[in-house]
Amino acid sequence: MPTYSSEAEFLAAYNIHDYSVPLSSVDVCIFTLHHQQLKVLCVKRSDYPFKDRWALAGGFIDIKNDADLKATALRTLTKKTGITTPYLEQLVTVGNQTRDPRGWSMTAVYFALIPYVALPQTGIERSEWHEVNFALNLDLAFDHQQFLSMALERIRAKVLYSLIPAHLISAPFTLTELQQVYEIIMGHEIEKKSFRRRLEREEVLTATGQSKQEGAGRPAALFTLKPECADFNFKRQLESD
Amino acid sequence: MPTYSSEAEFLAAYNIHDYSVPLSSVDVCIFTLHHQQLKVLCVKRSDYPFKDRWALAGGFIDIKNDADLKATALRTLTKKTGITTPYLEQLVTVGNQTRDPRGWSMTAVYFALIPYVALPQTGIERSEWHEVNFALNLDLAFDHQQFLSMALERIRAKVLYSLIPAHLISAPFTLTELQQVYEIIMGHEIEKKSFRRRLEREEVLTATGQSKQEGAGRPAALFTLKPECADFNFKRQLESD
């Protein structure tokens, strides 16, 4: 190994192609709520490897244009959905010799929550929203089924103490609409009174002053999530209130 | 872009060096308890970039020999400490254009908890245990100070509902020794009775049948963590018992 007299000299001689390096990508589990179901964006692969198989959205890091991993995730999400401001969270990073037939591959996996949008079909790859349990049975490409399971586990854990379900619906929303998202993710009904009490106690919502007719009786007030509460965590879990 | 008639043909033509790819590494915050202090393993860099600066342990992925990211983390840890069975957890992955002067760099950051060992000084890089607050002021190389802060935050959050402090001391241990680790990480004393009650209630420890003299009075019983409880999470936080 040559020795260098300065960092500048060392850097001038450095060439990543002198080394054997892994493939580096970002995958994104993009979730929404549609027709009272939690759905995930699936992409039918138009190319090898895993041609014609369903997969999560994702792609290689573009080191010329992506400032960081989050930029890669956002670029993927925006290209598939048109949405530019999702709730976006890093889930896990998986890297090993076997997950990609092209070679040692490392992928940073994110999950995103967005209000429902119809998917623009611009690229050569077909995108579709699939109900999550249906998607789990699609024999997804690579190890994407494992990522989808992990993302669902994380969301179901976080729903108990966070406001992340609010990102799955358009704002403004009524408290009933918000409660329904929690119930869909949790798979059972929750107690209205304690649900509303915890929201009031922590002052995480803004009343818009507008309202919406939700059936008989008084119109229901419409709320938005306070921007600073996008990541808010309650101190106690929903069911131990 | 050429088209291929099969995945095998596509793979045969695939060459990662046709692409601009990031550097890929693994960094490990290795923690132990020594002289009643939480300490982190720091390495004085012997080479560019950041020559002569303290850093966390870490290195590039060796795609020929590392089966997966965890193997890279373990290889780093074992080389520095001789320990082969740490508590090891993925913390975060950071990738961006600016963190490494050699170019776009992606690193999977782990943290490890091990009982204290004197550090073998075999390589050309000097390794030392530094008390964590001292280490935070060392102007660590790359973005390692940020990783150390994040690891401390994760450990301090997990101490409230997990058994991870047990991995910082040698087994078997007395309940007093275990409680002390919790108190050192939390920065204050905790109530002995409720601490012991939660351990008993969940049956997470095995009594070895041995005991140890800890001062005047009866000898204190010695315990080990049940192997299946290495990752155990209590349902409620320590201080809300």
Backbone φ and ψ of A159, nearest 5° = -60, -25
In this prediction the pTM is: 0.94
3-state secondary structure of B218: coil
Contacts of A207 (CB under 8 A, 6+ apart): A221, A222, A223
pLDDT confidence of residue A1: 61
Number of residues that this document lists for chain B = 241
Does A103 contact B21 at a Cβ distance shorter than 8 Å?
Answer: no
What is the C-alpha to C-alpha distance for residues A103 and A114, in angstroms, rounded to an integer?
33
Q: Please name which of B59, B52, B29 lies closest in space to residue B41, comparing C-alpha atoms.
A: B29
Tokens standing for residue A225: 């999530």
Q: What is the DSSP letter of A170?
A: P
Q: If interface means Cβ-Cβ distance under 8 Å, which residues of chain A face chain B?
A: 4, 6-7, 10-11, 14, 16-17, 19-24, 47-51, 60-61, 63-64, 67-69, 90, 92-97, 101-104, 106, 108, 236, 240
What is the C-alpha to C-alpha distance for residues B102 and A12, in angstroms, rounded to an integer?
9
Q: Please name which of B118, B141, B150 lies closest in space to residue B29, comparing C-alpha atoms.
A: B150
ipTM for this prediction: 0.92
What is the C-alpha to C-alpha distance for residues B221 and B171, in angstroms, rounded to an integer?
12
Beta strands in chain A (DSSP E): 23-34, 37-44, 54-55, 57-60, 87-96, 105-113, 126-131, 205-212, 220-225
pLDDT confidence of residue B1: 61
Residues B28, B112 contacting (CB under 8 angstroms): yes
Number of residues that this document lists for chain A = 241
Which residue in B61, B75, B109, B234 has the most chain A C-beta atoms within 10 A of its own C-beta, making it the best mutation to test that interface? B61
3-state secondary structure of B183: helix
Contacts of B17 (CB under 8 A, 6+ apart): A17
What is the C-alpha to C-alpha distance for residues A114 and A169, in angstroms, rounded to an integer?
7
Partner-chain residue, chosen from B4, B47, B93, that has the shortest CB–CB distance to A69: B93
Q: pLDDT tens for residues A173-192?
A: 999 999 999 999 999 999 99
pLDDT confidence of residue A29: 98
Q: Please name which of B90, B99, B24, B115 lies closest in space to residue B55, comparing C-alpha atoms.
A: B99
Backbone φ and ψ of A30, nearest 5° = -100, 120
What is the C-alpha to C-alpha distance for residues B208 and B175, in angstroms, rounded to an integer?
12
pLDDT confidence of residue B240: 55
Backbone φ and ψ of B42, nearest 5° = -115, 145
Does B4 contact A48 at a Cβ distance shorter than 8 Å?
Answer: yes
What is the C-alpha to C-alpha distance for residues A2 and A10, in angstroms, rounded to an integer?
9
The gap from C-alpha B100 to its chain's centroid, in whole angstroms, comes to 22
Q: Which residues of B touch A4 (CB under 8 A)?
A: 48
Tens-of-pLDDT digits for all 241 residues of chain B? Answer: 678 889 899 999 888 888 889 999 999 999 999 999 999 999 999 989 999 999 999 999 999 999 999 999 999 999 999 999 999 999 999 999 999 999 999 999 999 999 999 998 777 789 999 999 999 999 999 999 999 999 999 999 999 999 999 999 999 999 999 999 999 999 999 999 999 999 999 999 999 999 999 888 899 999 999 999 999 998 888 875 4
Tokens 């108990």 correspond to what residue?
Answer: A160
What is the C-alpha to C-alpha distance for residues A85 and B14, in angstroms, rounded to an integer?
35
User: Which residue ranges of chain A lie beneath pLDDT 50?
Assistant: 241
Partner-chain residue, chosen from A20, A96, A106, that has the shortest CB–CB distance to B106: A106
pLDDT confidence of residue B241: 46
At residue B160's C-alpha, the angle toward residues B191 and A227, to 5°, is: 130
What is the C-alpha to C-alpha distance for residues A71 and A57, in angstroms, rounded to an integer?
14
Residues B53, B46 contacting (CB under 8 angstroms): no
Determine if residue B209 is left, alpha or beta; phi over 0 gives left, psi from -120 to 50 gives alpha, anything else beta: left
Residues B132, B40 contacting (CB under 8 angstroms): yes
Q: Which amino acid is at B75?
A: R
Q: Please name which of A239, A134, A240 lies closest in space to residue A182, comparing C-alpha atoms.
A: A239
* CA A49 to each of CA A46, A55, A56, A207: distance values in angstroms, whole numbers, following the listed order: 9, 11, 14, 49
